[in-house]
Amino acid sequence: MFHWNITSLYIALIVATTLLNKLNRKQLVVVALVCGGIAIIESNVLDSVSFLARPGVPFDADVSLLVLSYLMIGYILKDKIKNVFLRQSLKMDIIAVGVAVLLIIEHLLTEMYGLPRQIDMKLGVYKNPISVYIISILYGVVIARLSAFIKRKFERLSKCLAYMGNITIPIMFLHEPLNRFCSQSSHLLFYLLVGIGIPVLCSIVSSKFECCKYFGIPKRKVVASNIRSKNI
């Protein structure tokens, strides 16, 4: 199950690519609402329908419905998302900080009192439309503003994060099996060093070879040119 996100994203991307070439904006809105609605309904009946129970549908294709909904919404709102990222506004920064604080409090309360998570795509838990869309959008706003701040103030860190953004597939595939070798008493920082550090090193070494593209690793020259173009 730890590769559920790869398969569900891959399926959703194939469908999204087809739909974006054939449908107009209004039709894409309908697709997003329908896919999201079906996904939420399925999540609510998950426990009562045996063949839907995890691992259930092969390749987590049912999760692709919600992923497709997110992709459609992201495409429809891409200009507004770009504005949130690029616009330099103290007011928006303050709002983003306030939202981040609320999200952290919500997470801590959930952990402290053992409350059920409102959304957990790995387990097919996305029963509440408000949690599925509103909370996800709020996280998106915070991440966009934080990314813009890092890009403006910390150029080297921005380049490192940009590189890791290009090798997310190796990180996704390797972090779980690597962390299984860690002791349960290991510190979180150690988990991060093993789960992210080793895949990054493997990607840097293998990026010299032509075959790296088959493993989701861009060649080093491509990554460097992408980073330079983003900084211009």
Q: What is the pLDDT of residues 172-227, one digit of tens each?
A: 888 777 777 776 656 778 878 888 888 888 888 888 877 776 666 776 654 444 54
More confident position, 190 or 148: 148
pTM for the predicted model, two decimal places: 0.77
CA distances from 113 to 106, 127, 139, 188 (A): 11, 20, 22, 21
* Mean pLDDT rounded to a whole number for the chain: 82
Average pLDDT over residues 48-67: 76
- Residue entry with tokens 């299984």: 180
Average pLDDT over residues 9-29: 93
Residue 224 pLDDT: 46
Dump the DSSP string for 150-165.
Answer: HHHH-HHHHHHHHHHH
- Residue 106 CB-half CA count within 13 A: 14
